[in-house]
């Protein structure tokens, strides 16, 4: 399994008007290129169209401009993984049952899907919790399970929308470290939205800064910190501090202007 590239050229999105209002312009003139296997973070002000960008790539929205997802139009590929902001674990299914669900829907027979789901649970650090129900596990473990739910599709492109926002910093770092290991190993192209600048820098090859509405890409910052990285330790290196300052200088104008 390896990653696919992604390109957005001059992309705009309008949401339909309500009650005779003007249509609402969420994105305008968005340019973004992601190379196969790259890990890219999108940071920007709340309500600035970050989720809308992911939804265009996933093929959920009508848009203007040109979008290529591994050479195809959005919505054509089946090797996309999308982890939404809120996890989607069915409360009446065990962790194993939740992770196996996608395979079940595809008609994979029981023993095979359970073996595969167990392997993915192990990969995200949930060995021994196959029979637990979502209400019996911590928030971090539920996140790990929803990550397994997405990875079991063996995506060539992984989209993550503020995946770890609700977790405490140490739980978050631990999941991020595991995620990093998994996508680095598989070469999966990864695009994730976050409002956490430290998280963006620690995980990514590039950090893209988006604007207030209508959303567009303001800046693109190469993160030249060698891999493998320790998510927790990397933030105490001098280069990290420089990059953080450089990106914050750009982000600040967007998130503070509105306040």
Q: And the tokens for 115?
A: 């073996």
Look at phi and psi of residue 215 and say left if phi exceeds 0, alpha if psi is from -120 to 50, else beta: beta
As measured in angstroms, the least distance from the Cβ of 87 to Mg ion is 15
Does position 212 bind Mg ion by CB under 5 A?
A: no
Neighbours of 32 (CB within 10 A): 21
Measured CA to CA, the distance from residue 252 to residue 100 in angstroms comes to: 43
User: Of 17, 24, 127, 239, which one interacts with ligand ADP (CB under 6 A)?
Assistant: 24
Q: Is 26 one of the binding residues for ligand ADP (CB under 6 A)?
A: yes
**Shortest gap between Cβ of 144 and ligand ADP (angstroms)?**
23
Nearer to ligand ADP, 127 or 220 (CB): 220
Tell how far CA 74 is from the center of its chain: 16
Looking at 3, 8, 43, 51, which residue binds ligand ADP (CB under 6 A)?
Answer: 51
Choice between 6 and 152, CB closer to ligand ADP: 6
Is there binding between residue 51 and Mg ion (CB under 5 A)?
yes
CB under 5 to 8 A by kind: which of ligand ADP, Mg ion, none does 32 bind?
none
14: CB partners within 8 A, 6+ apart: 23, 24, 25, 26
| CA distances for 60 relative to 10, 36, 56, 87, angstroms | 18, 22, 6, 18
Task: Tell how far CA 11 is from the center of its chain.
Answer: 19
Q: What are the Cα distances from residue 66, in Å, to 69, 104, 158, 164?
A: 10, 35, 20, 30
Question: Nearer to Mg ion by C-beta: 28 or 186?
Answer: 28
Of the pair 15, 170, the CB lying nearest ligand ADP is at 15
- Of 183-222, binders to ligand ADP (CB under 6 A) are 213
Instruction: Please tell me whether residue 85 binds ligand ADP under the rule CB under 6 A.
Output: no
Half-sphere exposure of 199 (CA within 13 A, CB side): 26
**Does 15 interact with ligand ADP (rule: CB under 6 A)?**
yes
Region from 50-58, 136-144, 184-192, 219-227 binding ligand ADP, contact rule CB under 6 A? 50-58
Q: Could you list the residues that contact Mg ion (CB under 5 A)?
A: 51
């Amino acid at each position: 399994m390896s990653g696919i590239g992604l390109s957005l050229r001059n992309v705009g999105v309008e949401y339909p008007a309500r009650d005779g209002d003007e249509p609402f312009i969420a994105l305008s003139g968005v340019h973004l290129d992601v190379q196969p296997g790259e890990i890219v973070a999108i940071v920007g002000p709340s309500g600035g169209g970050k989720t809308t960008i992911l939804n265009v790539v996933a093929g959920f929205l009508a848009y203007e401009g040109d979008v290529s997802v591994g050479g195809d139009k959005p919505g054509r590929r089946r090797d996309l993984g999308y982890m939404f902001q809120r996890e989607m674990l069915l409360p009446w299914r065990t962790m194993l049952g939740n992770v196996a669900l996608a395979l079940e829907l595809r008609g994979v027979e029981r023993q095979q899907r359970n073996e595969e789901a167990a392997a993915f649970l192990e990969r995200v650090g949930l060995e021994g919790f196959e029979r637990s129900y979502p209400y019996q596990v911590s928030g971090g473990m539920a996140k790990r399970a929803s990550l397994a739910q997405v990875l079991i599709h063996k995506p060539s492109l992984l989209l993550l929308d503020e995946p770890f926002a609700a977790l405490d910093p140490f739980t978050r770092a631990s999941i991020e470290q595991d995620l990093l290991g998994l996508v680095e190993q598989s070469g999966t192209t990864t695009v994730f939205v976050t409002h956490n600048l430290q998280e963006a820098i620690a995980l990514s090859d590039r950090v893209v800064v988006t604007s207030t509405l209508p959303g567009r890409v303001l800046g693109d910052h190469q993160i030249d910190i060698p891999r493998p990285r320790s998510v927790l330790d990397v933030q105490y290196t001098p280069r990290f501090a420089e990059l953080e300052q450089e990106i914050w200088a750009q982000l600040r104008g967007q998130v503070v202007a509105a306040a």
